[in-house]
């Protein structure tokens, strides 16, 4: 996998997403009355959209890297130290204020996508939803975005650009501005962790914790505050004053916690024998950034942004109608 193959993979990912959306829409209109695809099927299908295009591209290029092992060399899943695992847990929680801040800012302009799915999530047993959202989903996404995509971009020699572009594609993959707002930041910080630990295993652990705590909070809130769930989280909106207060609080927390997170990821790099990794990343920005770009990658990015814009405008029109 290299930068050009990443571009092809991402374009295929976007096109497959469009085909699936069209297929689901046709099924909703033409299928049995009142019958829709459940959230479990939707979540599994969304991961197949990620996995299948990348798998096809990787398999198509196997002759060019027959000496490489797909799971370790191409995707980067390697063993890491127990101490690195523990510090990865700390790193994950330190980044939560940053992602919450980005989510809060995005909610000024668009709906909270996850909140709108709360009712559907709670209709599924906790264990099933945890395995799908906190284990299966993160594994598939790490395999693609910090495995194939990040490591593919990295071969360009511009590690700095690889970190940024893998984070951008991770955000765009969600196909909505709300999740993309914090997924881009999370994707960048995950790429830093992958570089520091030298392994996609660390980012899988981070992703598992991040998604797992979200699932746990949804079910816990349903137990403690069922009236909020019954009313519908999507029907609740902050006043502008309340939103500004939330943003101000999380801005302060994000600055402090993210600064500590950089210290933690630097420690992880030293612990795994990858000292000065931040300096190496920064120095690599001088390498030709255009090696990362390709026609397919640009087309995929433009199409995903167009889709997200169309969806956001459609949601706005429905609210004001």
3-state secondary structure the chain: CCHHHHHHHHHHHHHHHHHHHHHHHHHHHHCCCCCCCCHHHHHHHHHHHHHHHHHHHHHHCHHHHCCCCHHHHHCCCCCCCHHHHHHHHHHHHHCHHHHHHHHHHHCCCCCCHHHHCHHHHHCCCHHHHHHHHHHHHHHHHHHHHHHHHHHHHHCCCCHHHHHHHHHHHHHHHCCCHHHHHHHHHHHHHHHHHHHHHCCHHHHHHHHHHHHHHHHHHHHHHHHHCHHHHHHCHHHCCCCHHHHHHHHHHHHHHHHHHHHHHHHHHHHHHHHCCCCCHHHHHHHHHHCCHHHCCCHHHHHHHHHHHHHHHHHHHHHHHHHHC
Residue 64, pLDDT > 60, answer: no
Which of 57-61, 193-197, 301-305 comes out lowest in average pLDDT? 57-61
Kindly report which listed range (56-60, 88-92, 159-163, 310-314) carries the lowest average pLDDT score: 56-60
In this prediction, residue 288 carries a pLDDT of 75
Question: Which range (17-31, 35-49, 94-108) has the least confidence?
Answer: 17-31
pLDDT above 60 for 321 = yes
* Residue written as token pair 């120095």: 283
**pLDDT at residue 74 greater than cutoff 80:** no
- pLDDT on residue 118: 86
pLDDT tens column, 263-299: 999 999 999 999 888 889 989 888 877 789 999 999 9
Asked whether residue 61 carries a pLDDT value surpassing 90, the answer given is no
Confidence check: pLDDT of 240 > 70: yes
The per-residue pLDDT for 232 is 52
pLDDT at residue 181, as a whole number:
94
Query: What does the mean pLDDT of the chain come to?
Result: 89
Residue 73, pLDDT > 80, answer: no
Counting Cα atoms < 13 Å in the Cβ hemisphere of 317 gives 6
Average pLDDT over residues 90-95: 98
Mean pLDDT of 130-157: 94
Q: Tell me what the mean pLDDT of segment 208-219 comes to.
A: 95
Amino acid 11: pLDDT: 96
pLDDT-derived band at 111 (thresholds 50, 70, 90) equals confident
pLDDT of residue 31: 66
Q: What is the pLDDT of residue 237?
A: 60
pLDDT at 308 over 70: yes
Residue 233 has pLDDT above 60, yes or no: no
Query: Which of 103-107, 133-137, 221-225 is predicted least confidently?
Result: 221-225
Q: What is the pLDDT of residue 70?
A: 67
- Single pTM value for the model: 0.92
Contacts of 289 (CB under 8 A, 6+ apart): 158, 161
Q: 60 vs 189, which has greater pLDDT?
A: 189
Could you tell me which residue, 229 or 199, shows the higher pLDDT? Answer: 199
For residue 54, give both structure tokens.
């990348």
What's the confidence (pLDDT) of residue 66?
55
């Amino acid at each position: 996998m290299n930068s050009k193959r990443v571009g092809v993979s991402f374009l295929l990912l976007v096109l497959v997403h469009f085909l699936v959306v069209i297929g689901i829409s046709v099924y909703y209109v033409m299928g049995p009355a009142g019958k829709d695809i459940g959230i479990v099927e939707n979540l599994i299908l969304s991961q197949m959209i990620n996995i299948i295009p990348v798998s096809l591209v990787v398999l198509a290029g196997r002759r060019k890297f027959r000496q490489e092992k797909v799971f370790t060399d191409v995707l980067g899943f390697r063993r890491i130290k127990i101490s690195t695992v523990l510090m990865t847990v700390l790193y994950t929680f330190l980044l939560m204020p940053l992602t919450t801040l980005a989510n809060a800012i995005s909610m000024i302009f668009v709906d909270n996508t996850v909140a709108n799915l709360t009712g559907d999530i709670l209709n599924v047993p906790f264990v099933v939803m945890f395995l799908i959202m906190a284990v299966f989903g993160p594994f598939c996404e790490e395999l693609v975005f910090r495995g194939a995509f990040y490591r593919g971009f990295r071969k360009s020699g511009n590690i700095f650009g690889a970190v940024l572009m893998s984070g951008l594609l991770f955000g765009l993959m969600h196909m909505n501005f709300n999740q993309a707002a914090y997924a881009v930041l999370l994707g960048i910080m995950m790429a830093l962790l992958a570089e520091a630990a030298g392994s996609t295993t660390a980012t899988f652990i981070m992703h598992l914790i991040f998604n797992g705590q979200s699932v746990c909070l949804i079910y816990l809130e349903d137990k403690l505050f069922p009236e909020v769930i019954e009313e519908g989280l999507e029907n609740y909106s902050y006043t502008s004053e309340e939103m500004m207060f939330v943003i101000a609080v999380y801005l302060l927390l994000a600055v402090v916690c993210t600064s500590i997170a950089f210290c933690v990821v630097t420690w992880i790099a030293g612990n795994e024998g990858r000292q000065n990794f931040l300096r190496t990343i920064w120095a690599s920005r001088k390498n030709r950034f255009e090696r990362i770009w390709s026609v397919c990658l640009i087309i995929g990015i433009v199409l995903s942004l167009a889709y997200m814009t169309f969806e956001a405008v459609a949601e706005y029109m429905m609210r004001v109608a």
